[in-house]
Structure 1
Amino acid sequence: MVSAIVTARATTVDYSRRMPVLLDLRGAKSSDVTIGTSPISELQACLHSLAEPDHHLDSQSWLMKIDASLPRELRHRLTRFAPLWARRRCRLLLPLSPPLDVEVETEIDRVAHLPEQAFVEAAAYAIQGGSFDPRGAVTRPDEFIAACEARSFSRGELARSLTDDPEAFRGILVRTLEDSVEEFFAKEWGRIQSRLRDEADQTRSRLHGLPLAELISSVSPAARPVQDGRGVRFDKLQNLTVPLRGNHIFLVPSVHGRPHLIVRGEPGFPVVVNYPVAWRGQPPSIDEVRRRLTVLSDPARLNLCRHLVNEAITTSDLARRTNMTRPQVSRHLAQLRSAGLLTSERSGRYVYHRVDVQHLMQIGVELLRVIVR
């Protein structure tokens, strides 16, 4: 999932078409890029995973363990504040200012001391979901609350508590973040911090050898340079433009953020690209997933898979079983092999084929990743 706001908040979003988020690099330079880790971003990714576990199949065992260990009162607060990180990540829980690579306590302290209006607007945008100008939470609180109630009762209640007493709201949120660090995040951050630092170091080393657009695009298969290097396109369901001119951009890797890619560009804050680190190889692009689904959509190839899933079979035997010629079977097998779904092994004079069940099952996971990314 990608989240972003353009400088002109009145921009109309057409959700009927698949459109990109465009990072406009005109006037930007390499020195505008800062690469590093952000523990509060990773904490938000963990909280999102707890709120939306179906998006994070790779972390199911960890999520179940953490959820079972949470004190009841903290679980209640996490549920209450879940709109801040469930669908649209809250800008408060991404790095607010340089430097990166600081302790989580430092980043939480920045949230605690952000000017009140900036705090309210950032929280309001996440609570409502983006279709209401967050400045209205200060100037038109009743309309803001009604817009949130239209989404859900819990969002309406959270919006009301924000507008009624912003500092009390902030105090409870900060305490919730601090308690989450103590209960589970400090241990998890100790486990993954070195991996994230290694990823940041590798990305930083590429800065010297790549043009700016290629450097930013290199962090995700969902991104690519466009307009002769004057922009980066993120293939997502928003029609938004994020200008970089006169601003800084933070490239922040995430483990628990997989498979989501977050791009944020609210006025008054640095642009943030919070990108997932590949754990077992880089996730496929949407075009690669579409190609594998196309291969499987053919009735003849799908029928071959039904024969090949339980036993290894030769080309001749497959032709006999399916009433196809050997050349026809060979062509279909080549398509399955090109999609990474077939293994073949020679035994004497014969070659035996079999469906790679693990890769076949992985297609569902990959499809989910590209949908929610």
Structure 2
Amino acid sequence: MSDEWKSGSSEASGNNADDRSWKLLEKTLLAGVQEQRRARRWGIFFKLLTFVYLIGALFAFTPLLDFGKGGSRSTEHTAVIDVQGMIADKEMASADNVVGALRAAFDDTKTKGVILRINSPGGSPVQSGYIYDEIRRLRAKNPDIKVYAVISDLGASGAYYIASAADQIYADKASLVGSIGVTAAGFGFVGTMDKLGVDRRTYTSGEHKAFLDPFQPPKADETAFWQSVLDTTHRQFIASVKTGRGDRLKDKEHPELFSGLVWTGEQALPLGLIDGLGNASYVAREIIGAKDMVDYTIEDSTFDRFSKKLGVSMANQLAMWMGFQGPQLR
């Protein structure tokens, strides 16, 4: 009996020791896991803190970097306004941005002349027309301040529409100039829908409310009507260019002048589409007589530019390409 008791007692002691060992091991493991979690949380915190610091520094110092804005508004200077990229609402070259910059340049008593530095394929006829009208209004109100359009790589369609409102147009000999025409594009998915066996059902309260639906076959009368819209816009474009350029256009009845073709600066000069060859620095120094250039361009905020790079603009364009797209001066 005594031996049995001793044996049982020994086994119980062994089990208790094992339990204590497992509990100690469990506590050690849990402590290690908790320490790793704390280290991970602190690591994430410091990474976020660094990220916030860098973003804050970017927002704080970007306005101070003033890249390419040489010259001072306190002395006589040439005002420069960039017309870059698509001319459209919410873009850098929107009418609001360009017109706002023009007004600021003309309001500055130290502005001796204004250069529109253009590198654009064109865009909205409405936005282009608004800028065109404002240039002519400001020129009439301030006859002592001349406006010069200087085309770098490309000054086509809506961009040339704007340029034609200036007192003079300059370009490089290899610049692409002109493209006086109107385009509207889209896709037709009728065949694709048929192959997929998908039936398009559209309900409207107007005969032409589903006008130019890409999922339905085109209708002859609607196509003819849409062509008349484009032709009307084209006539408005031509009339504005003729008004802006006047007798400087060598042959206003040239069969291809308003056909949508583009010319190099060297070819555009004898046609009267431009007045000379030269860049912005040349015009400021030799034509305006104020070599110091001050940039009046209104740009998007850093956050807006960052957002657009994440795909906002791409999404807007994709939505237009997949559906209805209005007339474009391109």
| Same fold at TM > 0.5 | no
Higher-RCO chain (CA-CA 8 Å, sequence separation at least 6)? 1
Per the normalisation by structure 1, the TM-score is 0.22
Rg larger for:
2
TM-score (norm 2): 0.24
